[in-house]
Structure 1
Amino acid sequence: MKNKSVNWAIIGPGKIARKFATGLKEVPGANLYAVASRSMERAENFAKEYEADKAFGSYEELVKDENVEVVYIATPHVFHYENTLLCLNHGKAVLCEKPFAMDTQQVKEMIALAREKKVFLMEALWTQFLPHFQFVMNLISTEKFGKLKSMKADFGFHSPFNASHRLYNKSLGGGSLLDIGIYPVFTALSSLGIPEKISAKAKLAKTEVDEECEMIFTYKDGVEAELHSTVGRETPTTATFLFEKATVTINSRFHEPATVTISTEEGEKTKEFGVTANGYNFEAAHVQEMLQKGQIESDQMTFEKSLQLIGLLDEVRRKIDLVY
């Protein structure tokens, strides 16, 4: 794929797809070729707005188009598994929105099929590729401020209860944990790894999904990660890392392009990263790089990391008795 444009397609033209399509415009060599929805009208409207070449009224039609090279899957969580298998079985590279699937078994099957078909597959956890996040992860790995002693991260916003809305609808994989709690969990995994112990409690909505979830991950030497997600109220949505010689905070809406404040004995300074796009361009550019190298797996958002992440989410769900 060197020296030529990459034909992207989108399945599920909703809110997150709009953000991705906006970010894709900033990626050199990226062409939004097609979009598919179960509603032809929605597909056509999205294609017109984002200048896609083709619109399809079914996912099956899209994956049969030989010009489609990579598909961004932006459907609700519960459909990620079947949509990914459909694309992989038709030889289409896949960038699937988080959570990768509903549980570890589904993720294992997706990865196994990607390996069998020798087709690229990656979970679209865009935070992994953002400059500020990589900067903080580098501080941790290099121990610039000493060892990481603890961290905490939260993600919360207010979404009024609506039993049919995907956030509260159990049949669509609703709840705060899989939708936004995944970001604090991912940040703990990225910074501290797999915990030795997990404790969690949740406030359940009337539809039996978690409106709010509180988690504590415990590591060796007493290191802890304090994590929180809620769709019931606004929270600071920051991530704070306590090192031996500094406190580092990813400021509000830590999962998207943000500033980082470093506090030491010498004082406090805030670092900006000059990101002018919405941030989805970074993961899309990474996918294109992997495709150009002929890879079937990302060297950053690896299969192993996705398996570890879904494993942690499964364990938290067991702790709060959330069964889909």
Structure 2
Amino acid sequence: MLKILSWIKTRSNKSAVRCYQNQLPTGRATRSSCRPDDSRSSVVGSHSMWRPRLRELHVNRFSEQSPGDLADNGYDSNAGSDDQWSGINGPTLRWGIAPISLMADDFAAALSVLPAQHHRIVSCVAAYQSHALAFADRHKVKNVYTSFEDLARCPDVDVVYISPLNPQHSELCHLMLNHDKHVLCEKPLCMTEEQVLKLLDKANARGLFLMEGMWPRCVPAYRYLRHQILRNRLGELQHIHCTLGLPVSNSRLALYGGVTSDFGVYGMQLALWVFREVPRCLKVSGKVNSENVDVAANIEMCFSHGKQAFIEVSSEKRLDNMAIIQGKEGSIKMGNYWCPTRLITDQVGYEFPLPGGEEVPATHYHNRVGMCYEAEEVRNCILKGNNESNVFSHSESLLLANLMDTIHAELGVGEFAPAVKSPNFQEEVFSVRDVVQDPEELDSETCRVVQDVNTGETLPCNRTEEEVEEKQNIPKALDAP
């Protein structure tokens, strides 16, 4: 009997330690938790015995790292995409930049941290030759143009990175596809769903690769988030909260098509990435300025089984700029979720250092070196002969454009703004009526009939109303019965 009791106690202690080990960030029990006295007094699943700490996951290496190394770090290289970060052997991908901009300068910096045999910028275009030459000197670009058509006809270019103002995306994408160039275009791909549909049809008909530049999908933080969701680490997913607010002038915001097109897409694509389904309903409220440009929006996306996404964006004030993915058994927080390098769970935080180490090139926008993952995804897809990427597919671009059209229609933005009725002056003339302030004025001298409009004859002021009507041949009103 004593042996049985002793065996039960020993088994329960081991079970408690084993459960506790699974809760630790490193997967290993600490020395204090392994001692018998501590194991008896500890509560299974309690995290009061250790402090959450950041854990670096070096999953952002390229050709020198094998897929097995990634698995050792707890990262699934197949989560969200079938490519491997070791890269695909093949020719160098030759890039054209259209046009030169701050974002394009950051993209060139991102390419610089990739293997030199994978990517090279061979052509660029700018409205001013001096800007193009300065960019070419910084990044050692061979061909310099001041015309988009010239760059589209350049035989040395395989793929074009497009980053002009949002309303110009559609036209430039069509131009490059017409000249058999693959395209990576910054978000949004187009301003309307109809434009996106035409662009996708052309890319598929010509067998060319086309991708909307939703580069957060390619960074390790997003892939690790998919890794956690697929392994049910958060339990049943419930809701997502996203906020993104940065002060932006109205004139600049109008160039980007509004706060929903510029900011809102990041939260919406995150919701689609997490829930992996089409929302069942969409609720939106917001603020539109005098130029019919949205400056603030609150978006609620409803999915199956009560799952929801709440997205708040503003160009008038700074928000906490964080995304929280909540499940029944845990949550994950992402600061700066459009360019995240850190994930924080209920137990531990994970950091994903950008490539380049201490020699990371300076960029104009925060963490833009992370676009290197997007560039590598483009290269892998093109070398495989794919027309689209599984990380952000054509169907998702079309769905996102449809949701954006719905939001703009609800807010009355751009072409969906209520039409201003032009005044009909002729109608207004006929509808004019004198306004009498004092009813007694009708009996005053100012309201007497003094002239016959038919003959121009001046009527004596002492004429009675009956005489005036008889002179003007005005029939008398019939007396009511």
- SS of alignment partner, residue 247 of structure 2: coil
1:297 maps onto 2:398 in alignment: no
Q: 2:286 touches 2:298 (CA, 8 Å); kept in 1? A: yes
SS in 1 for 2:398: helix
Alignment partners' CA distance in 1, 2:300 and 2:388 = 30
State the AA in 2 paired with 1:293: K
Q: Which residue of 2 aligns with 1:247?
A: 331
Percent identity over the alignment is: 25
Measured after TM superposition, the shift of residue 318 of structure 1 is 1.6
**Residues 19-44 of structure 1: CA deviation (Å, up to 9, x unaligned):** 11110112221001111122222222
Report if the CA contact (8 A) 1:38-1:59 is conserved: no
1:36 to 110, 113, 125: 125
Shift of 1:188: 1.1
1:311 is aligned to 402
Counterpart of 2:353 in structure 1 is 274
Distance in 1 (alpha carbons) for counterparts of 2:121 and 2:94: 6
- Paired AA for residue 205 in structure 1: N
- Given that 1:189 and 1:309 are in contact with CA atoms closer than 8 Å, whether structure 2 keeps it comes out as no
User: Is the deviation greater in 24-33 or in 45-54?
Assistant: 45-54
Aligned partner of 1:230 in structure 2 is 314
- 1:195 aligned residue: 279
Q: Deviations over 1:258-317 (max 9, x none)?
A: 211101xxxx31111232352010000010111111212112211111111111111111
2:167–2:257 contact (8 Å) kept in structure 1: no
CA distance in 2: counterparts of 1:276 and 1:289, whole angstroms? 18
* Distance in 2, Cα, partners of 1:23 & 1:205: 36
SS at match of 1:317: helix
**RMSD (Å) for aligned C-alpha atoms:** 1.5
Which of 106, 115, 132 is residue 19 of structure 1 equivalent to? 106
Distance 1:179 1:16 in 2: 14
Distance 2:227 2:291 in 1: 41
Q: Find out whether 1:205 has 2:289 as its counterpart.
A: yes
Counterpart pick for 2:160 among 56, 59, 71: 71
Does residue 1:153 correspond to 2:236, yes or no? no
Q: Are positions 1:140 and 2:140 aligned together? A: no
Contact 1:14–1:74 (CA under 8 A) maintained in structure 2: yes
What residue number does 1:178 align with? Answer: 261
RCO higher in structure (CA 8 A, sep ≥6):
1
1:211-232 CA-partner distances (Å, limit 9, x unpaired): 1111111122322110011121
Give me the whole-angstrom Cα distance separating, in 2, the residues matched to 1:118 and 1:3. Answer: 19
Distance 1:320 1:27 in 2: 42
How far apart, CA to CA, are the structure 2 residues paired with 1:2 and 1:61? 30
Q: State the 1:322 CA deviation.
A: 1.1
SS in 1 for 2:269: helix
Please say if residues 242 and 267 of structure 2, whose CA atoms lie closer than 8 Å, have aligned partners that are also in contact.
yes
SS at match of 2:407: helix
Name the count of aligned residue pairs.
313
Cα distance between partner residues in 1 of 2:131 and 2:295: 30
How far apart in 1 are the matches of 2:401 and 2:114? Answer: 29
**Do 1:122 and 1:298's aligned partners in 2 also have CA atoms closer than 8 Å?**
yes
Give secondary structure in 2 for the equivalent of 1:202: strand
Partner of 2:91: 4
Give TM-score scaled by structure 2 length.
0.63
Q: TM-score, normalised by structure 1?
A: 0.92
Asked if the contact 1:10/1:73 (under 8 Å) is kept, the reply is yes
Deviations 1:205-256, CA, capped at 9 Å, x for gaps? 33221111111111223221100111212111111011110011112x1111
The counterpart of 2:374, out of the listed 283, 293, 299, is 283
| Aligned residue number for residue 25 of structure 2 | none
> 1:4, CA displacement in angstroms?
2.3
Asked whether the 8 Å contact 1:102–1:173 carries over to 2, the reply is no
Aligned residue among 199, 206, 211 for 1:117? 206
Question: Structure 1: how far apart are the matches of 2:227 and 2:407?
Answer: 27
Distance 1:223 1:299 in 2: 24
Give me the whole-angstrom Cα distance separating, in 1, the residues matched to 2:173 and 2:111: 20
Larger strand proportion, structure 1 or 2?
A: 1
For 1:270 and 1:2, how far apart are their aligned partners in 2?
35
Match of 1:126 in 2: 215
Tell me which residue corresponds to 1:216.
300
Unaligned 5+ segments in structure 1 are none
Q: Which runs of 5+ in 2 are unaligned?
A: 1-87, 357-368, 416-481
Q: What is the deviation of 1:130?
A: 0.7
